Structure 1
Amino acid sequence: MSKGYATRMLSLLHYALAIPSPAIPSFPEDEFGTPPSPEHSPRNATYSTLWSDVGRDFYRTIKIGRGEESREGWIVGADQEVRYELPPSNEEEIGSTSLPQGWRSFHSISDIPSELLNTLSLRTLITAQEQTSAKTLAYDAPTSPGLLEFTITRSVRFTPAVVLERNGGAIQHVYINDSTVPPSFLVLAPTYTPNEPHTLKISYLSLTPVTEEATRQQFTDLFTLLYSRAKEYSCTQIEGWQLPQPLIDAWQQWTRENGGKLISHVREEHLGALAWYGAGTPADVEMVGGQL
């Protein structure tokens, strides 16, 4: 990045991916030379999404095109994080291996029927449409098996041997609540990054709307599941992005009764960003789904 490679890549990527249209400024040949060859450029995208640790200040410097005809390039989204720091406890404490009523675990995303993943993905999109005033949604399906598997693979590469031993050589990351229709769905990714607190990350969460009384029980059961798995995986905090407010309220109630610390803030690293190639401005577009 210090040599400008990231800036160059993010500035030119649009010309290899975006559908040719008047909305895309002309290629800045004076600065970058010959445009990408059409035979190596799909040119079939209306937008691109990117997750990176470069930070929002770097994103702001990237434009599509140059001069007066340039337009905004990468716009940051999905930056609301909630982190629950568990209260101090015996380091040897292990969470309960039992699951709340209605929940069951799966060894891998590949064990989930594709029809169910498609249903959950569509529900995420419909929910977003109901909750936003944006004119256009740029949808990056969070239930893509490849995306979910990548999140898990990336997150557990430093998993301690003792944690693997407790789980027969693997960690159960995927949970479904069959008591709702369609089922509620949860994907967890324990992370053990060196020199950082061990963290249980909510990689994907989709809760089926139920009655008010059942909703309270659902959030209670969900938090119990998260807390027990954090203990089981030797994690000292739980982290999630763009979480529903009722779940955050349940976490706040838990801290009042049991201790710990709840922190909500805007992330400045590992941010999702959107580059919009269609007509209009990125301000009219909302980024939905994607990696957590």
Structure 2
Amino acid sequence: MEEKLPPLNALKAFESAARHLSVKLAAEELCVTPGAVSQMLKTLEVHLGTKLFERVPRGIYLTDAGRDYLPSIRNAFRQIAEASRRVAASNDVGVLTVSVTPFFASAWLVPRMASFHDSHPEIDLQIVTGNALVDFSRSGVDVAVRHGLGRYPGLRSDRVVTVEMVVVAAPSLVARLGRPQSPGDLSDWPQVHDAERKGWSLWFQGNGIVEARAPRGPSFDDSGLLLKAVLSGQGAGLLPAAMVENEVRAGALIQLLETAHMEEFAYYLVCPDNRQTLPKIAAFREWILGPLAQSAMVAG
């Protein structure tokens, strides 16, 4: 007699809650209410006849049974995801989902998309924007373009184009703190950050500086909002040169240091190493790394 499986939604709720150790964060990830997550967890525990979580006033933690159960459930979801990807990839045509940062999308990719369509009319690009590096095993994203040093363990990373980033601040902040004489001076300045709070860290690394403190200050997932925060004097910002060109020329912002050319500080095409030869991905990779990319440097 075939054994009855637990409800799939309950298993998803268990995996998410166990990963976050939070009913609230699991609910946000699954787009349901915390009450719904709690109910699904109870349903699963009743089905299994054992407790998977201990509930405490400040949250939840896994029981021994929950810790034993979690690896198998995660592996099962990975197998389902991988099988689904293989089936979807068996067709050479269709939709290619590309995750890019908002500024790269508007400044570089969108103006050039017609070129890709002319070369590969059988592939439709679906562009999704965001700043965080995606989880390729869960998101449905095929490839991503991210800005940084291109160091992503377990992923294939190819430099698309080197960008010119400049450090700027409002005149009021410069008047209060004085002009920095070297990149190291900025480690003590208030800073405005990207959503992942990595931009400044990468910039300091590229200038051979080990930061003495963890990044502090406000962060934004939109470069336009980040620019507004810098203009209002909330801190120094690391922004694309082309994006702040008018503000610097008008005196609304001051470029604090000469631009340092860092070849590795660039936009990178990122994808799982074991998927780079899939036809749709290979076509996009060949196009974005080809002469079109090298013929024009972007500043963002």
User: TM-score higher than 0.5 here?
Assistant: no
Higher relative contact order (CA 8 A, sep 6+): 1
Q: More helix per residue: 1 or 2?
A: 2
From the two aligned structures, give the one with the greater strand fraction. 1
- Determine which structure has more spread, i.e. the larger CA radius of gyration: 2
What is the TM-score of this pair, normalised by structure 2? 0.27
